[in-house]
Amino acid sequence: MCGIVGYIGNKNSVPILIDGLKRLEYRGYDSAGVGILSNESAEVYKKEGKVSDLESHISEFKLNSKVGIGHTRWATHGIPNEVNAHPHFNPEKTLLVIHNGIIENYTVLKKNLRDEGYEFISDTDTEVLVNLIDFYLKKELNLCNAVRFALSKVEGTYGIAAIYKNEPDKIVVARKGSPLVIGVGEEENLIASDVNALIAHTKRVVYLEDNEVAEIYKDRFIVKTLNDEKLQKHIEEIEGSIEEITKGGFPHFMLKEIMEQPESIKNSLRGRVILKDGLAKLGGLIGYEDRIAGSKRIIICACGTSWHAGLVAEYMIEQYADIPVEVEYASEFRYRNPILSKDDTVIFISQSGETADTLAALKEAKRKGALCVGVVNVVGSTIARESHTGVYIHAGPEIGVASTKAFTSQLIVLSLITLLIARKKNLSVVEGREIAQAILELPEKVQEILNQNELVEKVAEKFVDAHNFLYLGRGYQFPVALEGALKLKEISYIHAEGYPAAEMKHGPIALIDENMPVVFIAPTDSVYEKVVSNIEEVKARGGRIIAVANNDNGKIDDLVENTIKVPSTIPMLMPVLTVIPLQLLAYHIAVKKGLNVDQPRNLAKSVTVE
CB closer to ligand AGP out of 306 and 345: 306
Alpha helices in 322-472 (DSSP H): 330-333, 356-367, 382-386, 405-422, 429-440, 442-450, 453-461
Burial of 242 (0-12, 13-18, 19+ CB in 10 A): exposed
CB of 355 to ligand AGP, least distance (A): 3
Nearest 5°: phi and psi at 586?
Answer: -65, -45
Of these, 122, 124, 345, 358, which contacts ligand AGP (CB under 6 A)? 358
Q: Is 605 a catalytic residue?
A: yes
Catalytic residue among 2, 144, 301, 372: 2
Q: Is 303 a catalytic residue?
A: no
Q: How far apart are CA 156 and CA 276, in angstroms?
A: 52
> Does residue 607 interact with ligand AGP by CB under 6 A?
yes
CB closer to ligand AGP out of 188 and 357: 357
Q: Which stretch binds ligand AGP (CB under 6 A): 41-49, 245-253, 273-281, 351-359?
A: 351-359
Q: How far apart are CA 578 and CA 518, in angstroms?
A: 15
In the bound state, the residue with its beta carbon closest to ligand AGP is 304
Contact of 384 with 279, CB cutoff 8 Å = no
Per-residue binder mask for ligand AGP (CB under 6 A), 561-600, x = binder: ----------------------------------------
Q: How far apart are CA 537 and CA 371, in angstroms?
A: 45
Q: Kindly state the helix (H) or strand (E) to which residue 161 belongs, with its residue range.
A: strand 158-164
CB of 406 to ligand AGP, least distance (A): 7
Angle at which helix 429-440 crosses helix 405-422, to 10 degrees, equals 170
Contact of 330 with 360, CB cutoff 8 Å = yes
Closest CA to 360 of 342, 348, 371: 348
Give the footprint of ligand AGP on residues 381-440 (CB under 6 A): 401-403
Of these, 355, 382, 477, 563, which contacts ligand AGP (CB under 6 A)? 355
> Does residue 304 interact with ligand AGP by CB under 6 A?
yes
Closest CA to 596 of 265, 346, 252, 289: 252
User: Is the CA virtual torsion 275, 281, 282, 288 positive or negative?
Assistant: positive
Contact of 481 with 518, CB cutoff 8 Å = no
Q: How far apart are CA 554 and CA 552, in angstroms?
A: 6
CB closer to ligand AGP out of 292 and 586: 586
> Does residue 380 interact with ligand AGP by CB under 6 A?
no
Q: How far apart are CA 167 and CA 189, in angstroms?
A: 16
CB closer to ligand AGP out of 544 and 588: 588
CB closer to ligand AGP out of 109 and 402: 402
CB closer to ligand AGP out of 409 and 415: 409
Of these, 126, 131, 306, 534, which contacts ligand AGP (CB under 6 A)? 306
CB of 407 to ligand AGP, least distance (A): 8
CB of 447 to ligand AGP, least distance (A): 22
Nearest 5°: phi and psi at 95?
Answer: -125, 125
CB closer to ligand AGP out of 409 and 534: 409
> Does residue 303 interact with ligand AGP by CB under 6 A?
yes
Per-residue binder mask for ligand AGP (CB under 6 A), 458-497, x = binder: ----------------------------x---x-------
Question: 314-344: string of b/e by CB count within 10 Å (b at 16+)?
Answer: bbbbeebbebebebbbbbebbeeebebeeeb
Contact set with ligand AGP (CB under 6 A):
303-306, 350-352, 355, 358, 401-403, 486, 490, 606-607
Tell me the catalytic residues.
2, 605
